[in-house]
Amino acid sequence: MSLVPGLGLVRGMALTLRRFFEPKATIRYPEVQADIPPKFRGRLQLLYDEYGTLKCETCFQCAQACPIECIDMGGMDTKGRFHVHWGAAETYGERREESALRRSGRTVPDPAYDHFEGVDVGPVDDILETFDHDPAHLLPILEATQAHYGYLPVGALKRISQVTGTWYAQIYGTASFYGHLRFEPPTVTAQATAISERRPDEAAFLASLGASLTGRPGGDA
């Protein structure tokens, strides 16, 4: 603080006015790229080797090493088995907890792996042979596949994608568009379950009725 009152304010104002005319520090991003040091390791990318091949071998080591388990992989191992750890982003929290359990040494039933019991993809090849491997006939192919397996196993869809060269997303999209195609094996009790879910069974109905009469939850009427 100076002796003259207000001089400090004036000096500050002079400084800001000087800065007003100085060169600016902003990097105008789309036109000017940021100067990223060569050691920067924030790039999200997979590396290619000198032959232009993807270096990633889906060995899952990175997914296992990731401390917060944010890495998850889809892919195919060297023996042609499909080992994709499926899971929507919404189930991420659940998977974390399962993984915590698994680490603690307990066995966890993992529904994520249920889709991937071994599927013999030979019949798929036969079906594709009859349709000349033509992705234009995708719906007949899928219907034939479902007719054979009873449902559409992921392995079969992957095989169709691999052989016909169609994107998996397109096949999955087609399959999920049509109501008569399904991804789970049909069960006998499925329909019954669906109905009973919609309508409470006799016992529950009576219990709630009793509760409403006596004013106590679960009270015996």
8 contacts another protein (rule: CB under 8 A): yes
Q: Could you tell me which stretch among 31-39, 56-64, 110-118, 143-151 binds another protein (CB under 8 A)?
A: 31-39
Q: Minimal CA–CA distance to 84: which of 116, 119, 45?
A: 116
- Is there binding between residue 218 and another protein (CB under 8 A)? no
Report d(CA 124, CA 155) in Å as an integer: 10
**Which of 134, 138, 217, 136 minimizes the C-alpha distance to 174?**
138
Q: How far is the CB of 68 from another protein (least distance, A)?
A: 8
Give the one residue of 3, 5, 89, 147 binding another protein; rule: CB under 8 A: 5
Q: What is the rounded distance in angstroms from the CA atom of residue 191 to the CA atom of residue 93?
A: 30
The length of the chain is: 221
Distance of alpha carbon 220 from the chain centroid? 47
* Residue 62 binds another protein (CB under 8 A): no
Of the ranges 30-38, 51-59, 160-168, 190-198, which one interacts with another protein (CB under 8 A)?
Answer: 30-38
Interaction of residue 67 with another protein, rule CB under 8 A: yes
* Nearer CB in complex with another protein: 8/186: 8
Taking CB under 8 A as the criterion, the residue among 32, 42, 55, 180 binding another protein is 42
Shortest Å, Cβ 23 to another protein = 8
Q: Which residue has the tokens 């329909």?
A: 191
> Per CB under 8 A, which region of 17-25, 121-129, 180-188, 201-209 contacts another protein?
17-25
Cβ burial, residue 124 (10 Å; 0-12/13-18/19+): buried
Dihedral sign for Cα 53, 55, 59, 60, please. negative
Which of 8, 185 has the CB closer to another protein?
8
Taking the complex as a whole, how short is the minimal distance between the CB of residue 2 and another protein, in angstroms?
Answer: 6
* Residue 102 sits in the site that holds another protein (CB under 8 A): no
Is 134 in contact with 172 (CB distance < 8 Å)? no
Taking CB under 8 A as the criterion, which residues in 137-176 touch another protein? none
